[in-house]
Structure 1
Amino acid sequence: MDEVGRQARWERRTELPLAVASLVFLIMYAIQVLAQGLPGAWRDLCAAVMYLAWLMFVVDYGVRWRLSGQGLRFVPAHKLDTVVVLLPLLRPLRVVKVYEAVQRRHGEPRLSLYARVIAYAGVTTVLLGFACSLAVYDEERGAPGTQMHTFGDALWWACATLTTVGYGDVVPVTARGRVIAVGLMMCGLALLGAVTGSFSSWLLQVFSLESDRRNGGGPSED
């Protein structure tokens, strides 16, 4: 079996376990942040599970790098996987890859390209918004002059930031909180652009097909 075949086989086998590890990581992190009175032993257990999930991603990344035979070219060719290893809070985004696989039957997507982009962006937005809400709340609570007194405040801030509304009634005051905010702003713009562009393209396609039918032409091929 060639290198491409071995890598594809490895990815198929690890896709679901890594997705489960992503969700477990997010759950453990949420427990650590939100469960204030959690006993020390349980907090240690959550931390151990999180480190185990991180180790799974590191091992997977190393194996796929080795099987690819690409050398350093593997890093820019797999940007999401690289970022996921370096930034723990983005690991839940690996669930999107499983969602994509579920949408396929016999190698063909069940949904149109535009619907898939909108669906992926929606799943990514929910996961990213929840993870960043946890991270910024963990940094902001108890800080002098904080405006995020509850996790609900952090969720409200994440929703306003992701949708690019930016009310400004709740903002981070710590340095790390602002770094998280900048990252969320960039992701919000990218996700909004993807959804808007896909929806606009879909509308143009619908109008084009309608115009062809009115002019007596058949539907165009994608």
Structure 2
Amino acid sequence: MDIAAESSTQPGRPRSARDAAFLDRFNARMRLPIVVSAILPLVIIPGSTGWVGVAVGVLTWLVFLIDFVVQARYRDHYTRTGFGRFDLFVVIATAPWFLIPGAQAGQFVVLLRLARLARLVMATRDARRLFERLGRVALTAGGVVVVGSLVAYHAEHSVNPEFATVGDALWWGLVTLTTVGYGDIVPKTTAGRWAAVTIMVTGIAVLGLLAGSLASFFRLDSAIPPAEPPTGTEPRAVTSGDAALEALTTEVSALRHQVDSLAARLAGTQPAPATPTPGGDETGD
């Protein structure tokens, strides 16, 4: 009982099934206003273009405030979650402080609204899966670039003036990873060239994984048929084709019964029974 009570009051969860349904509709409707409210202040900086900038700053901030209030109202202990604290910080930091004489809305405060967009993206399951996958790929690629660049630097810097510093080696490693190949820095030793091969192969793999991850995220593989529903779920709705097939099967069964009865009468093995008809009436001789 204690475990169930604890799981039901987990911070950030909707308070009830009705609240969860309401939040789904609310988040879908608020997605566009939040995107506009995050981008518009970058074009019209609050406090710098007269009353238009003031109106934009206040209205866009109200969008974030309403979203935060609704989330806190329909979720248990929303401010105890990482998303809740972040939303509260954005609401406080992007408040219309520029209305106070002498205060200005700095560029950093305006950019915080774009960080709110990143929060919205991370809140979706597909986006979290994409960023987790890309994070592992980026970590692996970064490790290969650093190790390969250091190996190339130690092998090249004494015989190749193009690898004068570690920064030059890291620049060469990044260019090689992205398969751009400017050619401004070229390894000459065997160890440096093997490091280049390793980084190039890693770059090709990273591009392939990136393309596959983005295709999965944008649902480009929608041609794959959906999986069968798991056992125990409700049966799918009967389509018109299934209903027609069922009616045809019933008629064929009734016709077969009539043929069997007629064959028995001709053979004289049984008296003439009443013949059932598809309409449900009985007819005699």
Give the alignment's TM-score, normalised by structure 2.
Answer: 0.32
Larger radius of gyration: 2
Give the alignment's TM-score, normalised by structure 1.
Answer: 0.40
The higher-RCO structure (CA 8 Å, 6+ apart) is 1
* Structure in which a larger fraction of residues adopt helix: 1
